[in-house]
Amino acid sequence: MDSAALLDLLGNENRRRILRLLARKPCYVTEISEYLGVSPKAVIDHLRKLEDAGLVESHVDDGRRKYFSIARNLRLEVNVSPYDFSTKSAYSASPNLDITSWRYVSLDIKHTGEEDEEADETDAEAESDADPDSETLPDLAHDLRELERLENELSMAQRWVQGRLTETLDRISAHFEGVDGRFYAELIRGLAGGPATPEQLSRRVEAPPDVVADALEGLSAHDVVKRDGDEWQLV
């Protein structure tokens, strides 16, 4: 399905809510129906459209009940600027991709005509006072070409990171056999951005604060997290 059709599909709020729910755990139709507050028939219709688009897949468990889950990573990009409106969708890049060899992955780029970093301070001041109109059209065209390359490489890098992120969360989840590994993976992910209280984490993982607090105590026993006052952080 092309990106424009995906935008139309995701324009429906209930479909977006279904995907948010399935991003937390696989669900049966009745669970989704109760979560959305809509009829099972309406849920089935939404799921069918999401399946047709390749966003959702279904499986039958040992009790012969069908449950649904996110099929795979998909990145949908929308660009709106005074010069462009475009959409692009793509699946995650291969984890074997060597992004360290890319030219711009460090973002260490310069505009045409800029002095090297080793230029002395006098030259740097003179450059900062230069008339921007002195740039030639070929110089600007060169900058445009390099920026287009950078945009493409960053898009690929984001897709690579998305795939590695999912893979890492899967591996964290696998460490918790017999319990809800996804729950613990989301707790650890919630702390990856910085310290947080159990109340803050509870809103992210949609679980009671006391359940989150108990889980954090369990993770601390594995030297994954530690407590600092009212907040928890990764070790």
* pLDDT at site 133: 62
Return d(Cα 148, Cα 164) in angstroms, integer: 25
User: DSSP per residue over 157-171, as a string?
Assistant: HHHHHHHHHHHHHHH
pLDDT in tens, 147-183: 888 888 888 888 888 888 889 998 998 888 766 888 8
Cβ neighbourhood burial of 89 (10 Å; 0-12, 13-18, 19+)? middle
Return d(Cα 210, Cα 198) in angstroms, integer: 8
* pLDDT at site 178: 64
Tokens read off for 88? 């692009």
Return d(Cα 215, Cα 184) in angstroms, integer: 7
Q: What is the mean pLDDT of residues 201-215?
A: 90
β-pairing verdict for 231-234 and 225-228: antiparallel
